[in-house]
């Protein structure tokens, strides 16, 4: 079943689950993404993922929004979102499918990752982006990064184009790696390689995530109010590990308060 | 109960209420929330929060919207908002249920200050979803400060310690409200035991407030013309019949706008 009518949407809204948001700021860099995964307080801060192959987090993993799966035959959707913050930027809502850590910034060697298999809720062919996510800052030397992965058709040994990391990737930063031309999805990541040492080991990892929604906040000290149509009523998979990231416009992420309505039908 | 289709929603809005409001502007600080609770004129002005143990608030409290309780088995929802603001100085209007307030706290005092608040009222249940806010009553002094609060969480565990609040600016004006992040892992609060400032500001008094946010509505267009917000945008946010509804706004400049309009509810 699915929500296929205004009546069903209204029914869903009146029974919605309130996913509350309260995130405190972190220093960040304009034009970069910042992960809100490890920040407090609602949802509670998540932990640094396991090193190596990582794990496939779910809605029960600390850091994820907590919600109740729908009744059999029903689906979950994002029905509305509202909030306020003191800095401009864009809120990105993601389903965190697989995450790893333990990659270091002071090595130009091929660093093995070999991510665990995607969970069943992952989109067919896998998500369309590989994210690198920082848990401890790496060094000030600007380097390039690339990843070797298996694409949506199961073809191994695909390589992302080189992406510059810029100077000093801070804790909580995220950077998307575009896929090799022609590819549309990632089933697993085998390795990550830096072009040189950044000067500091730090700690970063691979995050495979499915984009759910993008919510702009174009002016500081304003907010956002979006309904189901604004959001495109994206479907939320059962057991989704919902997280947020922020596309930074200034020098930090905002004090962010708000909520998202999870509707089911 | 719930609302299952458009026809029921229409009926629910007919059963609901149209709550007129008109609030004056106040001085404020950019990047801070400003409360309209103790501002006139409709709803009326809330009282100065009493000292420890404070008081619980409900729909009959001065300052609260006068709500007609829903019939047994029905719920109340925010179905719409019509708003006009006098300036662009409010970016978002927050609608909240003001549950508990404890005043008489000193903005010029270091060290733990006893709060020992009354517990949250029954409508707040376990305290899940409730948050702690610092509410400036008398203007602060020239030193900025933050607050850390010791409280009992949604599971009834006392002695939980919050993270540092959003900072109070130097000479923070009255009606400013700063949210206090709970201890990581907590999702609510039942009562507040004490509060401690990071610095004595030099003057002023404040209250600790336990608040449950209901929804936020982007209001940036409300200066150009009356802004109509419908049920899709409010998400049919639910609130209790006994709620002490209040508005907060996040300030884009050094004052908040005068606002007037109508809060539209649905009952079903």
ipTM surpasses 0.90: yes
Nearest CA in chain B to A230: B233
Which of B91, B182, B236 has the CB atom closest to A13's CB atom? B236
**Interface size, chain A vs chain B, as Cβ–Cβ contacts under 8 Å:** 132
Nearest CA in chain B to A224: B218
Q: pLDDT at position A50, please?
A: 98
Q: pLDDT at position B256, please?
A: 82
**Closest listed residue to residue A170, CA positions, set A220, A119, A134:** A134
**The tokens of B162 are what?**
């919050």
In degrees, rounded to 5, the angle at the alpha carbon of residue A198 between the alpha carbons of residues A196 and A204 is 105
Tell me the pairing of strands A130-136 and A143-151.
unpaired
Which of B31, B179, B251 has the CB atom closest to A257's CB atom? B179
Tell me the pairing of strands B26-27 and B147-153.
unpaired
Length of chain B measured in residues: 268
Enumerate the residues of chain B whose CB falls inside 8 A of the CB of residue A15. Answer: 2
How close A32 comes to chain B (CA, Å)? 22
**Closest listed residue to residue B78, CA positions, set B261, B234, B255:** B234
Nearest CA in chain B to A19: B129
**Closest listed residue to residue A238, CA positions, set A76, A1, A4, A61:** A76
Q: pLDDT at position B224, please?
A: 59
The pLDDT-based confidence of A46 (bands split at 50, 70, 90) is very high
Enumerate the residues of chain A whose CB falls inside 8 A of the CB of residue B182. Answer: 22, 40-42
Instruction: Tell me the CA distances in angstroms from A255 to A171, B27, B166, B181, one per residue in order.
Output: 17, 21, 8, 10
Average pLDDT over residues A116-133: 96
**For residue A164, is pLDDT > 90?**
yes
Q: pLDDT at position A256, please?
A: 95
How close B212 comes to chain A (CA, Å)? 11
Alpha-carbon distance of A240 to A78, in angstroms, equals 12
Per-residue pLDDT tens digits for B167-182: 999 999 999 999 999 9
Share of chain B above pLDDT 70, in %: 98
Which of A16, A42, A45 has the CB atom closest to B187's CB atom? A42
Per-residue pLDDT tens digits for B51-89: 999 999 999 999 999 999 999 999 999 999 999 888 777
Per-residue pLDDT tens digits for B145-198: 999 999 999 999 999 999 999 999 999 999 999 999 999 999 999 999 999 999
Alpha-carbon distance of B135 to B179, in angstroms, equals 9
The pLDDT-based confidence of B253 (bands split at 50, 70, 90) is confident
Q: pLDDT at position B225, please?
A: 65
Q: Is A72 exposed, middle or buried (0-12, 13-18, 19+ CB in 10 A)?
A: exposed
Q: pLDDT at position B238, please?
A: 95
Q: Is B46 helix (H, G, I), strand (E, B) or coil?
A: coil
Please tell me the least confidently modeled range out of A206-210, B24-28, B139-143, B184-188: B24-28
Alpha helices in chain B (DSSP H): 6-15, 231-234
Nearest CA in chain A to B162: A41
**Taking a C-beta distance cutoff of 8 angstroms, is the pair B226, B86 a contact?**
no
Enumerate the residues of chain A whose CB falls inside 8 A of the CB of residue B9. Answer: 10
Q: pLDDT at position B3, please?
A: 93
| Residue written as token pair 């200034």 | A250
Enumerate the residues of chain B whose CB falls inside 8 A of the CB of residue A84. Answer: 33, 91-92, 94, 216, 250
**For residue B222, is pLDDT > 80?**
no
**For residue B16, is pLDDT > 90?**
yes
Enumerate the residues of chain A whose CB falls inside 8 A of the CB of residue B213. Answer: 20, 257, 259
Tell me the pairing of strands A173-177 and B147-153.
unpaired
Enumerate the residues of chain A whose CB falls inside 8 A of the CB of residue B31. Answer: 86, 220-221, 255
In degrees, rounded to 5, the angle at the alpha carbon of residue A187 between the alpha carbons of residues A208 and A105 is 50
Per-residue pLDDT tens digits for A59-118: 999 999 999 999 999 999 999 999 999 999 999 999 999 999 999 999 999 999 999 999
How close B56 comes to chain A (CA, Å)? 23
Q: Which of A12, A14, A222, A262 to mutate to test the interface with B (most CBs of B within 10 A)?
A: A14
Test A79 with B235 for CB contact under 8 angstroms. yes
Tell me the pairing of strands B33-35 and B259-267.
unpaired
Facing residues of A231 across strands?
none
Q: Nearest 5°: phi and psi at B117? A: -65, 155
pTM, 2 dp: 0.94
Per-residue pLDDT tens digits for A220-249: 888 899 999 999 999 999 999 999 999 999
Test B233 with A13 for CB contact under 8 angstroms. no
How close A201 comes to chain B (CA, Å)? 28
A11 touches chain B (CB under 8 A): yes
CB atoms within 10 A of CB A106: 15
Q: pLDDT at position B85, please?
A: 87
For chain B, the average pLDDT equals 94
Q: pLDDT at position A169, please?
A: 92
């Amino acid at each position: 079943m699915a929500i296929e009518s205004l009546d069903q949407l209204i029914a869903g809204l009146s029974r919605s689950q309130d996913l509350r948001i309260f995130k405190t700021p972190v220093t960040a860099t304009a034009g970069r993404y910042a992960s809100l995964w490890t920040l407090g307080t609602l949802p509670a801060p998540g932990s640094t993922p396991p090193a190596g192959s990582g794990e496939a987090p779910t809605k029960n993993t600390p850091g994820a929004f907590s919600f109740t799966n729908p009744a059999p035959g029903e689906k979950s959707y994002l029905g509305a979102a509202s909030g306020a913050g003191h800095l401009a930027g864009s809120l990105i809502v993601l389903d965190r499918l697989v995450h790893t850590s333990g990659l270091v910034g002071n090595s130009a060697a091929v660093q093995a990752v070999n991510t665990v298999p995607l969970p069943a809720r992952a989109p067919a062919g896998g998500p369309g982006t590989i994210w690198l996510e920082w848990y401890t800052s790496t060094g000030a030397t600007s380097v390039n990064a690339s990843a070797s992965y298996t694409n949506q058709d199961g073809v191994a040994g695909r390589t992302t184009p080189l992406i510059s990391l810029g100077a000093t990737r801070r804790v909580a930063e995220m950077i998307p790696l575009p896929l090799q031309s022609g590819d549309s999805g990632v089933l697993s990541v085998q390795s990550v390689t830096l072009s040189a040492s950044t000067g500091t080991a730090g700690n970063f990892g691979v995050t495979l995530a499915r984009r759910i929604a993008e919510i702009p906040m174009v002016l500081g000290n304003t907010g956002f109010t979006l309904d189901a149509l604004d959001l495109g009523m994206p479907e939320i998979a059962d057991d989704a590990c919902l997280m947020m990231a922020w596309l930074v416009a200034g020098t930090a992420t905002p004090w962010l308060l708000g909520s998202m309505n999870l509707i089911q039908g | 109960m719930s609302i299952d289709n458009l026809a029921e929603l229409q009926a629910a809005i007919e059963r609901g209420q149209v709550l007129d409001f008109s609030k004056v502007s106040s001085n404020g600080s950019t990047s801070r929330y400003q409360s309209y609770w103790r501002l006139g004129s409709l709803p009326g002005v809330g009282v100065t929060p009493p000292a420890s143990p404070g008081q619980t608030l409900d729909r009959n409290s001065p300052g609260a919207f006068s709500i007609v309780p829903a019939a047994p088995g029905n719920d109340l929802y925010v179905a719409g908002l019509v708003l006009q603001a006098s300036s662009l100085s409010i970016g978002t209007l927050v609608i909240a249920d003001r549950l508990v307030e404890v005043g008489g706290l000193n903005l010029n005092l270091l060290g733990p200050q006893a709060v020992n608040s009354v517990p949250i009222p029954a409508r707040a249940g376990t305290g899940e979803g409730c948050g702690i806010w610092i509410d400036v009553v008398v203007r602060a002094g020239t030193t900025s400060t933050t607050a850390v609060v010791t409280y009992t969480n949604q599971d009834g565990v006392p002695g939980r310690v919050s993270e540092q609040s959003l900072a109070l600016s130097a000479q923070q004006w009255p009606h400013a409200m700063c949210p206090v992040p709970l201890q990581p892992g907590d999702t609510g609060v039942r009562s507040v035991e004490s509060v401690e400032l990071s610095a004595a500001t030099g003057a002023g008094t404040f209250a600790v407030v336990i608040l449950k946010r209901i929804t936020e509505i982007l209001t940036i267009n409300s200066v150009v013309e009356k802004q109509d917000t419908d049920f899709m945008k409010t998400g049919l946010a639910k609130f209790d019949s006994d709620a002490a509804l209040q508005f907060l706004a996040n300030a884009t400049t050094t004052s908040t706008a005068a606002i007037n309009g109508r809060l539209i509810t649905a009952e079903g």
